[in-house]
Amino acid sequence: MVPSLDGPTNVLRQLWDRLSVVPGGTRVFSHLAGRMAPYTGTIGARVVELREGFARVELPDRPRVRNHLRSIHAVALVNLAELCGNAALSYSLPDDARFIVAGLSIEYVKKARGTITAVTECSVPHTSARQEYEVPVVMTDDAGEVVARATLRSLVGPKPSANQA
């Protein structure tokens, strides 16, 4: 069974805090995150570091994420940016909050080849009050060169009460 993000607690934070400290736990967490957001799971990225306002996610270069130029496909990079930014924001949310991406912009700097690492540092919501947050994500290759930069515009708000869900 896949955990629900709309429960009474921040299930993503609970899963990370429990799994990240055990051998293989980050892989299990990444698989579960991919099941909670199925499209996100299609790229096979792995969350390697997660804390309030911060995430680091790695995307291995494999044939299934490449384009006809043998570089990582633009849409795979968008998906990676969204996973990284959403993980950091979601981990940081109060138990009674949820969010949705309201917009996303991306700049492709150079062809992405090899393992791509996405990193975000973002503002941390302290309440579930309706507010938009900008979540910047920088993606680099194995040499540390920037391959893409993205910004997610994420709308945070309260979870629906049990009688509204």
Q: What is the pLDDT of residues 113-144, one digit of tens each?
A: 999 999 999 999 999 999 999 999 999 999 99
Give the right CATH number for 11-158 from 3.30.930.10, 3.10.129.10, 3.40.50.150, 3.40.50.300.
Answer: 3.10.129.10
Q: What is the value of pTM for the model shown? A: 0.93
Which pair of tokens denotes residue 101? Answer: 């991406």
Q: pLDDT digit of tens for each residue in the chain (165 aa)? A: 556 666 778 999 999 999 999 999 999 999 999 888 888 889 999 999 999 999 999 999 999 999 999 999 999 999 999 999 999 999 999 999 999 999 999 999 999 999 999 999 999 999 999 999 999 999 999 999 999 999 999 999 999 874 454
Number of helices (H), then strands (E), in the chain: 4, 6
Structure confidence at residue 149 (pLDDT): 98
Cβ neighbours of 22 (radius 10 Å):
10
Which pair of tokens denotes residue 32? Answer: 């579960």
Q: What is the rounded distance in angstroms from the CA atom of residue 138 to the CA atom of residue 5?
A: 26
85 in Cβ contact with 70 (< 8 Å):
no
Q: Residue 150: which of 91, 72, 84 has the closest Cα?
A: 84
Instruction: Write the burial class of residue 64 (CB in 10 Å: 0-12 exposed, 13-18 middle, 19+ buried).
Output: exposed
Q: What is the rounded distance in angstroms from the CA atom of residue 70 to the CA atom of residue 78?
A: 17
